[in-house]
Amino acid sequence: MQVLFTIRSADAGYGSGIVIRGLDLDIASGEFISLIGPNGAGKSTIIRLLTGMLQPVNGTVCFRGRDVKSFRTRELARNFSVVMRITGEVPAFTVRSFLGFGMFPHEGAARYSASNRLTVDATAERTGITGLMERSVNELSAGEFQLVQVARALVQSSGVIILDEPVSNLDYRHTTLVMDLLRELNRSGTTVVCALHDVNCASDYSSRIVCIKNGALFVSGAPSRVVNTAVMGELYDAEFMSLVNPATGSPMIVPVSGNM
The H or E element containing residue 81 is strand 81-83
Of 3, 53, 57, 256, the one binding another protein (CB under 8 A) is 53
Sole window of 102-110, 124-132, 175-183, 196-204 interacting with another protein (rule: CB under 8 A): 102-110
Which CB atom, from 107 or from 171, has the smaller least distance to another protein?
107
Q: Pick the binder of another protein from 3, 92, 122, 244 (CB under 8 A).
A: 92
Residue pair 32/183 in contact (Cβ under 8 Å)? The answer is yes
Q: Compare residues 89 and 237 and give the one whose CB is closer to another protein.
A: 89
Binding of residue 84 to another protein (CB under 8 A): yes
Candidates 18-26, 70-78, 178-186, 244-252 — which segment interacts with another protein by CB under 8 A? Answer: 70-78
Measure the CA–CA gap between 258 and 136, rounded to whole angstroms: 45
Residue 16 touching another protein (CB under 8 A): no
Q: Rule CB under 8 A: is residue 14 a binding residue for another protein?
A: no
Query: Residue 94 carries which DSSP code?
Result: B
Site for another protein contains 88 (CB under 8 A): yes
Stretch of 25-33, 99-107, 174-182, 243-251 contacting another protein, by CB under 8 A? 99-107
Query: Does residue 229 contact residue 240 with C-beta atoms inside 8 Å?
Result: yes
User: Which range in 30-38, 80-88, 168-176, 212-220 contacts another protein by CB under 8 A?
Assistant: 80-88
- For residue 34, list its beta bridge partners: 194, 209
Nearer to another protein, 12 or 209 (CB): 12
> 209-218 burial, b for 16+ CB within 10 Å, e for fewer?
bbbbbebebb
Given the rule CB under 8 A, which of 60-68, 76-84, 173-181, 243-251 is the region that contacts another protein? Answer: 76-84
Interface with another protein, residue 111, by CB under 8 A: yes
Q: How far is CA 129 from CA 11, 107, 163, 218, 223, in A?
A: 40, 24, 19, 38, 30
DSSP 113-164: -HHHHHHHHHHHHHHT-GGGTTSBGGGS-HHHHHHHHHHHHHHH-SSEEEEE
Chain contacts with another protein (rule: CB under 8 A): 51, 53, 72-74, 76-78, 81-82, 84, 86-93, 97, 101-102, 104-105, 108-111, 156
